[in-house]
Structure 1
Amino acid sequence: MNSAKCRAIFETLREVNPTPTTELEYSSPFELLIAVLLSAQATDVGVNKATRLLFPVAHSPQQILALGEAGLIDYIKTIGLYKTKAKHVMETCRILVEKYDGKVPPVREALESLPGVGRKTANVVLNVAFGQPTIAVDTHIFRVSNRTGLAPGKNPDAVEQKLLKVVPKEFLHDAHHWLILHGRYVCKARKPECWHCAIEPLCEFKEKTPAPKQ
């Protein structure tokens, strides 16, 4: 895809949604980190239901440690893989208290050293909480990048590196959100809804889906 078309895609996405943001609910970098940790293989809706009950009671590493693992599980047991996630959250909180004075470090290497935090989670926290121009490639972004021809790649890392090269700098901060929301609500996995896609004229996907018959 040429640079002019790439720019046009992001100009269009910005026009449709000028101020995109994560659908996870949070009020601090720590709450965002925990929400993203809990969101692996789970929906944002499901995570928000749990954290709406958890965060008013425990919104710091110290408070979650005081809850204990069993206490934390009571709040997150509706989320998939909750036992493993509870262990990761507790250990992450312990490290944050012992090494970072209870604060979330705005540094990739430090974030990725936390239990359960991989590159994708670190990218979300760096982007959303600290305003860094990172792109966390999840299944939605991976699909949209390959399907549209925007940044094709065989794995998430390859797609991420290509996006960082082709996305114009002015769009880098919000690119993550635009692509994720586009994949979630328009360019869906089973059947992309091309008939009401704002970037359809720019998209290089050959098998465009027609509007369903009334």
Structure 2
Amino acid sequence: MKKADVQQFYQRLRDNNPAPTTELDYATPFQLLIAVILSAQATDVGVNKATARLFPAAPTPAAMLALGEAGVAEYIKTIGLYKTKARNVVATCRILIEQHGGEVPAEREALEALPGVGRKTANVVLNTAFGQPTIAVDTHIFRLGNRTGLAPGKTVLEVENKLLRVTPREFLKDAHHWLILHGRYVCKARKPDCAHCCVFDVCGFRGKSA
């Protein structure tokens, strides 16, 4: 995609949604971290239903740790892989308390050292909770980067690095949210909704159709 087209691409996404954010419900960086851990191979809607009960009962790392694996599992059993996730959540809370004073660290290395936290989860927390210009490449953004020609790559990391290079600085903070929402609701996997796409004319998708 040409530089001028990239500028238009992001400008239109911003015009359509000036203040994008995650669709996960949370009130603190800790709750965001837990919600993102739970969202692996699960929908945001499903996670929100579970955390609507979990977070009032355990809003802090100490309260979550006090629930224990069985207690956390009871709240999140409607989510896939809930037993493994409950184990990771409790282990993460223990580390937060013992190594970070009960606070969520704002450094990638520290985040990725937490159980259940990989690069994608760390990027979401760094961007959404701390405003850092990171882009978490999930299946939607990976598809979008390749399909549109914005940041083609064979691996998630390759797409992420290309997005960080080509995205103008003014759009970096919110790029993650614009791209994931566009991929989720417009540039969908099986049938992209090209007729309602605000970047139709600058998109490089060869199969696009109005």
Under a length normalisation based on structure 1, what TM-score does the superposition of the two structures give?
0.97
Amino acid at match of 1:112: E
Deviation per residue, 1:63-91 (Å, 9 max, x gap):
01111111111100000010110111010
Question: Secondary structure at 2:21's aligned position in 1?
Answer: coil
2:66 counterpart residue number: 66
Question: Secondary structure at 1:33's aligned position in 2?
Answer: helix
2:54 counterpart residue number: 54
1:45 counterpart residue number: 45
2:192 counterpart residue number: 192
Task: Tell me whether 1:161 sits opposite 2:161 in the alignment.
Answer: yes
Structure 1 segments of 4+ aligned residues over 4 angstroms from their partners: none
Task: Tell me whether 1:127 sits opposite 2:111 in the alignment.
Answer: no
Amino acid at match of 1:27: A
CA distance in 2, matches of 1:100, 1:19: 31
Unaligned runs of 5+ in 1: none
How far does residue 168 in structure 1 lie from its aligned partner after superposition?
0.1
1:15 counterpart residue number: 15
Task: Tell me whether 1:32 sits opposite 2:32 in the alignment.
Answer: yes
1:84 counterpart residue number: 84
CA distance in 2, matches of 1:79, 1:147: 30
Unaligned runs of 5+ in 2: none
How far does residue 106 in structure 1 lie from its aligned partner after superposition?
0.3
2:93 counterpart residue number: 93
Under a length normalisation based on structure 2, what TM-score does the superposition of the two structures give?
0.99
CA distance in 2, matches of 1:107, 1:60: 20
2:109 counterpart residue number: 109
Question: Secondary structure at 2:105's aligned position in 1?
Answer: coil
How far does residue 208 in structure 1 lie from its aligned partner after superposition?
1.2
CA distance in 1, matches of 2:104, 2:22: 18
How far does residue 2 in structure 1 lie from its aligned partner after superposition?
1.3
Pairing of 1:134-173 with structure 2 (within 5 A)? 134-173=134-173
Identity of matched residues, %: 69
CA distance in 1, matches of 2:209, 2:139: 20
CA distance in 2, matches of 1:18, 1:85: 34
Question: Secondary structure at 1:163's aligned position in 2?
Answer: helix
CA distance in 2, matches of 1:11, 1:209: 22
